[in-house]
Structure 1
Amino acid sequence: MNGPGIDYEAVFQALPGAVALLTPGLVYADANETFLSMSGRTREQVVGRYLFDVFPDNPQDPTSSGMHNLRASLERVVATGERDSMALQRYDVESPDRPGVWQERYWSPVNVPLLAPDGTVALLLHRVEEVTELMRARGAGAGDDRARVLESELYTRAKELQEVNDRLRRAHAREREVAIHLQKAMLPPPRPLGHHPAAVRYRPAIGALNVCGDWYDLVDLPGRTAVSVGDVVGHGLRAAGVMGLLRSALSAASRVAAGPAQALEVLDLYSRDVDGAESTSAVSVVIDWESRVLTYSSAGHPPPALCHPDGRVEFLDRATDPPLGARPEHEPRPQAETSFTDGAVLALYTDGLVERRREDIDTGLNRLADALARNRAAAPEALADILLTELTPPAGNTDDTALVLIHL
């Protein structure tokens, strides 16, 4: 028994609905008797096998999209940790008794994440309701005329909905591709900072059609370097466009402002005239190479991390203010300073690096501090790859990530 008098394995097998359990890698972990009966497969043919090896696309029908849509739904659930109810889908399923013979089936799936204690997706519960017979009833000659008319309309609407879903999927994929190219074009690799190695990374969210407005920037000034990162609220081409405007504005302001607080004040005023810029977060750090002082200011952004040569990690969180445009009236922004010694590492990043669903932000910050301290001797390029590898959840990030590392 798995609980107080309840055998949950027996309950799972006795469920009247067709239910299967999948790993995040889309391998069948289990399936109840109803699922096996509905799909015409034995347990040996299903459990332990990759879903799309058991149910591949029909190679004889290039327009078949049911399996493609199912894969997108399952990957979305793994990435977001949220359930996804799919529209009615048409699937071509190979007959288990007659290889090469494909049967037209209509299934309505719901995919639900089962979460591990750390908030990651441990399993996927895949429930399927079959309506194939209803869809075929229009041609069976049974029932009254009104029933056949209604069934025919249902069949037509299902086909139309499937076509709309396919068009939306293609449109979203095109928008994502264009947004990623636009974002990368506006986020070039950094120029050399004298003898101080630096590395930058931009990683889009995994398994999602949403490209966000994360950015980074490095500005060389006489004896100083201004470094910034920011995150626009929203997704897609619009967010990428707003990101480009704000990044350019902050880059220009950093060249003439007295310090990072004043640069963010200028950006705040500018953002009020940019549609879609409200609630953007940003942080700016000015490195004074001669005095060995970091001056910083934050507009609602996660704090930069300064890893000292002895492994102590200091979060620059003493000059934090609300995001851009959050106040009805303009007010001066705070600014703070901290010193550094040769061999320290400065990390600026967006929230995709440290935030996870259903987890306190301090847990992510502690994870970042630990990874920085353990790997601080690595060169920035290697360290950037290490941090992304160690801090990215197994199912991938659900938010975009920008990262800047500078060896001080």
Structure 2
Amino acid sequence: MREPQIDYSEVFHALPGIVALLTPDLVYADANEDFLRLAGRTREQLLGRYIFDVFPENPNDPAAAGMRETQASMLRVVATGERDTMALLRYDIEDRERPGRWVQHFWSPVNAPVLGPDGNVLLIVHRVEEVTELIHARGGHGSSSRARVLEAELYTRARELQDVNERLRRAHARDREVAIALQEAMLPAPTPVGHHRAAVRYQPAVGTLNVCGDWYDLVDLPGDRIAVAVGDVVGHGLKAACVMGQLRSALSAAARVADGPARALEALGLYARHVDGAESTTVVKTFIDWTTHTITYSSAGHPPPALLRADGTVIFLDRATDPPLGARPEHVPRPEATTPFTEGATLALYTDGLIERRHEDIDVGLARLGRALVRHGRAHPEALADALLGDLLPPTGSADDTALVIIRL
């Protein structure tokens, strides 16, 4: 039996609901017939235009918050890739036939993402339930009076909810400032590592307290050697920041006395058993020796470091990977591997925020990182770090922290 051919464009325009499609930049890409009817706009007046150029806030209502709340909801969708349901919203629309006259509307909007193959948001589905007629119902004097009371109560409750949301937003913003300040105190600019060129970056996640889970560390060792690590604590916010600080300090100390990265991670694993919240932390540790031109490494469940060799090829250091901290009930020696390098190579250590995307295999992210390293690898480490973040992180920010260390070998 032949499969029916469905014209999804026709289906979209015939939808009985009020639906529009917007780009991640909040520009109209399409709208169905019910949306055009509700908005009182033609398709030509809508498509290709920024949403708030078409529907600005009512300048006669100083308490209006519809534009701010709609924008915040849509940007959350772009940043998280998840659906966002809004509370009852009042949003006045200017009458196109009578400029200066604003028509009152009450909406119940839902914004949902359309994801591309790479897990990034391609479009925002903006669906609106129009409840204005319900609130403005008329049916005789008594009914009209009751409707006005209902309208006033609903609007008052909506404004109260908006005020609560605004207070929560401000509280979260203050907490985020505290978390970022703590992160900066715990992850200062690294001290010089001899004559070697290095660059570090820390990119907080988009959100409220989605910071401070990831860390980096560079340690100068005796001889022409350095130890470099990156790690990722499960969770976000101030608790994760405190755990991160303890683990980073412990590993930094262990690296100075251990005879290799595996022993340093073993010591960290034993310490982590006594730190609440440290379980399942991932970390990779490398010892770089310029006398022998070797990189010795060990990984506790962490994405593999990437080595851009002088000939322009990229390999991932994945021959010494073990479970994350606290994953085993008994102490077991961790594996360690060594790989050679030649002068002019580049080593990149990073956390999963740089490569992982929702609904995407990790190998796709690793391949993307490899291509970016080849494309920008000749740049100075500082410029290379910026280029990798620019190429690999979503333009609206990542839902996860990202730590990155670049070492020119």
The aligned residue for residue 276 of structure 2 is 275
In the TM superposition, what is the alpha-carbon distance from 1:349 to its structure 2 partner? 0.3
Q: Distance in 2 between matches of 1:370 and 1:286?
A: 25
Q: Distance in 1 between matches of 2:207 and 2:276?
A: 28
CA contact (8 A) 1:19 1:32 kept: yes
The aligned residue for residue 363 of structure 1 is 364
Structure 1 residues 328 and 364 mapped into 2: Cα distance closer, same or farther (>3 Å)?
same
Q: Per-residue displacement from partner, 1:354-395 (whole Å, max 9, x unpaired)? A: 111111111111121222233322211111122112222355
SS of equivalent to 2:192: coil
Structure 1 residues 62 and 143 mapped into 2: Cα distance closer, same or farther (>3 Å)?
closer
In the TM superposition, what is the alpha-carbon distance from 1:22 to its structure 2 partner? 0.5
Structure 1 residues 15 and 192 mapped into 2: Cα distance closer, same or farther (>3 Å)?
same
Q: Per-residue displacement from partner, 1:19-43 (whole Å, max 9, x unpaired)? A: 0011111100111121122223332
Q: Distance in 1 between matches of 2:144 and 2:207?
A: 46
The aligned residue for residue 378 of structure 1 is 379
Q: Distance in 1 between matches of 2:391 and 2:318?
A: 23
1:249-398 residue pairs with structure 2 within 5 A?
249-398=250-399
Structure 1 residues 49 and 142 mapped into 2: Cα distance closer, same or farther (>3 Å)?
farther
CA contact (8 A) 2:179 2:209 kept: no
In the TM superposition, what is the alpha-carbon distance from 1:16 to its structure 2 partner? 1.6
Structure 1 residues 27 and 342 mapped into 2: Cα distance closer, same or farther (>3 Å)?
same
Q: Distance in 2 between matches of 1:238 and 1:90?
A: 38
CA contact (8 A) 1:299 1:321 kept: yes
Deviates more, 1:162-171 or 1:26-35: 162-171
Structure 1 residues 177 and 140 mapped into 2: Cα distance closer, same or farther (>3 Å)?
farther
In the TM superposition, what is the alpha-carbon distance from 1:209 to its structure 2 partner? 5.7
In the TM superposition, what is the alpha-carbon distance from 1:401 to its structure 2 partner? 1.1
In the TM superposition, what is the alpha-carbon distance from 1:281 to its structure 2 partner? 0.9
**Number of aligned pairs?**
406
1:3-402 residue pairs with structure 2 within 5 A?
4-137=4-137, 141-143=141-143, 154-206=154-206, 210-223=210-223, 224-402=225-403
Q: Distance in 2 between matches of 1:72 and 1:364?
A: 28
CA RMSD of aligned residues (A): 2.6
CA contact (8 A) 2:175 2:208 kept: no
Q: Distance in 2 between matches of 1:405 and 1:276?
A: 28
SS of equivalent to 1:282: strand
Q: Distance in 2 between matches of 1:60 and 1:86?
A: 23
Q: Distance in 1 between matches of 2:217 and 2:364?
A: 27
Deviates more, 1:259-268 or 1:132-141: 132-141
CA contact (8 A) 2:172 2:208 kept: no
Structure 1 residues 97 and 177 mapped into 2: Cα distance closer, same or farther (>3 Å)?
farther
Structure 1 residues 331 and 25 mapped into 2: Cα distance closer, same or farther (>3 Å)?
same
SS of equivalent to 2:372: helix
CA contact (8 A) 2:193 2:220 kept: yes
Structure 1 residues 267 and 137 mapped into 2: Cα distance closer, same or farther (>3 Å)?
farther
Q: Per-residue displacement from partner, 1:155-205 (whole Å, max 9, x unpaired)? A: 554343333222222222222232223212321222222221111111123
Q: Distance in 1 between matches of 2:115 and 2:291?
A: 50
Deviates more, 1:4-13 or 1:315-324: 4-13
In the TM superposition, what is the alpha-carbon distance from 1:232 to its structure 2 partner? 1.3
Q: Which amino acid aligns with 1:237?
A: L
Q: Which amino acid aligns with 2:48?
A: G
Structure 1 residues 312 and 13 mapped into 2: Cα distance closer, same or farther (>3 Å)?
closer
Taking structure 2 as the reference length, what is the TM-score of the superposition? Answer: 0.90
In the TM superposition, what is the alpha-carbon distance from 1:208 to its structure 2 partner? 6.4
In the TM superposition, what is the alpha-carbon distance from 1:150 to its structure 2 partner? 7.3
Q: Distance in 2 between matches of 1:59 and 1:176?
A: 32
CA contact (8 A) 2:46 2:54 kept: yes
Q: Which amino acid aligns with 2:181?
A: H
Structure 1 residues 172 and 136 mapped into 2: Cα distance closer, same or farther (>3 Å)?
farther
SS of equivalent to 2:105: strand
Q: Which amino acid aligns with 2:363?
A: D
- Structure 1 unmatched ranges of 5 or more: none
Q: Distance in 2 between matches of 1:221 and 1:59?
A: 64
Structure 1 residues 208 and 366 mapped into 2: Cα distance closer, same or farther (>3 Å)?
farther
SS of equivalent to 1:124: strand
Deviates more, 1:324-333 or 1:205-214: 205-214
Q: Which amino acid aligns with 1:96?
A: R
Q: Distance in 2 between matches of 1:8 and 1:312?
A: 44
Q: Distance in 1 between matches of 2:197 and 2:222?
A: 18
SS of equivalent to 1:269: helix
Q: Distance in 2 between matches of 1:384 and 1:323?
A: 26
CA contact (8 A) 1:212 1:399 kept: no
Q: Per-residue displacement from partner, 1:129-158 (whole Å, max 9, x unpaired)? A: 122233345998544999988777655543
Q: Distance in 1 between matches of 2:283 and 2:60?
A: 52
CA contact (8 A) 1:200 1:405 kept: yes
CA contact (8 A) 1:306 1:345 kept: yes
SS of equivalent to 1:127: strand
CA contact (8 A) 1:311 1:374 kept: no
Q: Per-residue displacement from partner, 1:242-279 (whole Å, max 9, x unpaired)? A: 22222122112212222212222222222223222221
Structure 1 residues 256 and 212 mapped into 2: Cα distance closer, same or farther (>3 Å)?
same
Q: Distance in 1 between matches of 2:375 and 2:129?
A: 50
Determine what percentage of the aligned residue pairs are the same residue: 71
Deviates more, 1:61-70 or 1:224-233: 61-70
CA contact (8 A) 2:254 2:267 kept: yes
Structure 1 residues 286 and 88 mapped into 2: Cα distance closer, same or farther (>3 Å)?
same
